Amino acid sequence: MHKILLAALLAGSALVSPALAADLRIGLQDDADVLDPDQSRTFVGRIVYTSLCDKLVDITPELKIIPQLATAWSWSDDGKTLTMDLREGVVFHDGTPFDAEAVKANIERSKNLPESRRKSEVKSIDSVAVTGAYQVKMMLANPDATLLAQLADRAGMMISPTAAEAAGADFAANPVCSGPYKFVERVQQDRIVLEKFADHWNADAFHFDKVSFLPIPDTTVRLANLRAGDLDMLERLAATDAAAVKADAGLQYAETVSIGYQGITVNVNNGDRAKNPFGEDARLRQAFELSIDRDALNQVVFEGAFAPGNQPFPPNSPWYDKDVPIPARDIEKAKALMKETGHETFDLEVQVANNPVQTQVLQVVQAMAAEAGFNVKLKSTEFASLLAEQSAGNYQASQVGWSGRVDPDGNIHQFMTCKGGINDSKYCNPEVDKLLDAARTSNNEEERKAEYDAARKILAKDLPIIYLYHPSWIWALDDKLEGFVPYPDGMIRLENVKFRS
């Protein structure tokens, strides 16, 4: 066993070499996929892009949209035209100027490149007009309040039109963007290396000569590399290692609640498996929720590192409905609700992915629900199979989550509307549809919040999804670093991050 661990540690160490004082080495949980913003889909790829590719807009830690390559924007009164003023004096890594023509070329590539995965994200854009050297107008088929959030992610990442035209679908072999660091090399499953781009518009805020991203999937090995000095920081520290890192004087600990969630999806209308009291009577689902102590669940499984939750938005989100707080555990009330439905006990099968963490979550829920009279049977299955069973309606309840989106629409509309693309419960309430559809078409945040709150008050009673918790993004850093700010999207932004003097 010791020989195996030593070999693993040596293998992890072999990924890195001694670094210069201004070189930053970041340990990733996975390797990125193709480095083309239009084609990629991995979470860690987005971490690399944060240093490589500037976007039209970005977000604050509070999830507010702020300028990046676009300095200002406005909507037409009918919500169907988005006008953006662009930052002047910006160049791509190959020297190509960034201007309105570049934005038009990027949006059209996202819409038309056969391999593009961004097509649905920019689908609402009918056309882009260049209305000045540094101004564009995006004409929409219908109002789309989610568009700015899309432009704060891969759909808004700007790549060099010169390089894109020359490389076509092979752009990822040598990606050319306009971010603070430019591409140097990539060795699959080993490293992605970037170096500082001296001509970046905000170069003074970035302090490393080189940034290396090193995929080390094993959480134990990743932390061992950090402690050995072979990494300067890592993402997704295991929650069970949090206490040890906090107690280590040579390390820093950083965390923030993610914008995603984990919960239990209930089959309320998806085929024959929905035709049972748990799927047909919301009172049983309410009783089940009242049997769960979310705070205790968080402590037992995650040592308090995650955030208990009862909504698709975490408690620190501006979209969270404070009028519908997490219900306290109440076994007596749960039993009373069950009796109203004619049950003192109830058999419930919940499918769960066959990994240790999610299994432990459901084992804790199973024990809690038993005290109210629920006999929970766990059906352990591989994750892809679990999703297939959900889609097919071959389940009674299913423990599943969502990584989250910056715009609230991405966390609720496709799960809760009658024809939602990921509505595996087949929940359908015309009033909820009306409210969530309306929230999509307004650019007024107060109006949208009121519509989400009204929908949530209905959903909190109907409970097609029983939300459990919001995972936290956890980072560990060498103590010599300063200036790192955790963001709820899990990205690593290196602006103003540097080694201590």
What's residue 482's pLDDT?
A: 97
Range 368-390 average pLDDT: 93
* Mean pLDDT for the stretch of residues 223-245: 94
Cα(471)–Cα(455) distance, integer angstroms? 24
Q: Give the pLDDT mean for 29-43.
A: 89
Is residue 293 within 8 Å of residue 368, measured between CB atoms?
yes
* pLDDT above 80 for 79: yes
pLDDT at 7: 44
Q: Give yes or no for a contact between 251 and 476, defined as CB atoms under 8 angstroms apart.
A: yes
Banded pLDDT at 12 (limits 50, 70, 90): very low
Section 436-449 average pLDDT:
90
pTM of the model: 0.76
pLDDT score at 147: 94
Query: For the stretch 431-444, what's the b/e string if a residue is b when 16 or more beta carbons lie within 10 angstroms of its beta carbon?
Result: ebbebbebbbebbe
The overall average pLDDT reported for the chain is: 92
461 confidence band (pLDDT: 50, 70, 90):
very high
Lowest mean pLDDT among 40-44, 245-249, 277-281, 481-485: 40-44
- The DSSP H or E segment spanning 24 is strand 23-28
Confidence of residue 501 (pLDDT cuts 50, 70, 90): confident
**d(C-alpha 79, C-alpha 144), whole Å:** 7
Average pLDDT, stretch 353-376?
A: 93
Please state the three-class secondary structure of 463-491 as a single string.
Answer: CCEEEEEECEEEEEEECCEECCCCCCCCC
What is the crossing angle of helices 282-290 and 445-462, to 10°?
A: 100
Cβ atoms of 457 and 321 within 8 Å: the answer is yes
Partners of residue 83 on adjacent β-strands: 74, 137
Contacts for 36 with CB less than 8 Å, ≥ 6 apart: 159, 169, 171, 172, 175
The average pLDDT across 41-48 equals 88
Ranked by mean pLDDT, the top range of 61-70, 85-94, 140-149 is: 85-94
Give the mean pLDDT of 277-282.
Answer: 98
Residue-range domains of the chain with CATH: 52-169 (3.90.76.10), 261-470 (3.10.105.10)
Q: What's the average model confidence in pLDDT over 316-336?
A: 94
* Alpha-carbon separation of residue 79 from 82, 141, 170, 176, 340 (angstroms): 8, 10, 36, 33, 48
Instruction: Give the model's confidence band at 13: pLDDT under 50 very low, under 70 low, under 90 confident, else very high.
Output: very low
Give pLDDT tens digits for 86-145: 999 999 999 999 999 999 999 999 999 998 988 878 889 999 999 999 999 999 998 998
The pairing of strands 210-215 and 191-196 is: antiparallel
Percentage with pLDDT > 70 across the chain: 96
d(CA 258, CA 402): 10
Distance CA 38, CA 163 (A): 14
Contact of 261 with 469, CB cutoff 8 Å: yes
Alpha helix ranges (H) inside 157-293? 161-167, 219-228, 242-246, 277-280, 282-290
**Average pLDDT over every residue of 216-238:** 93
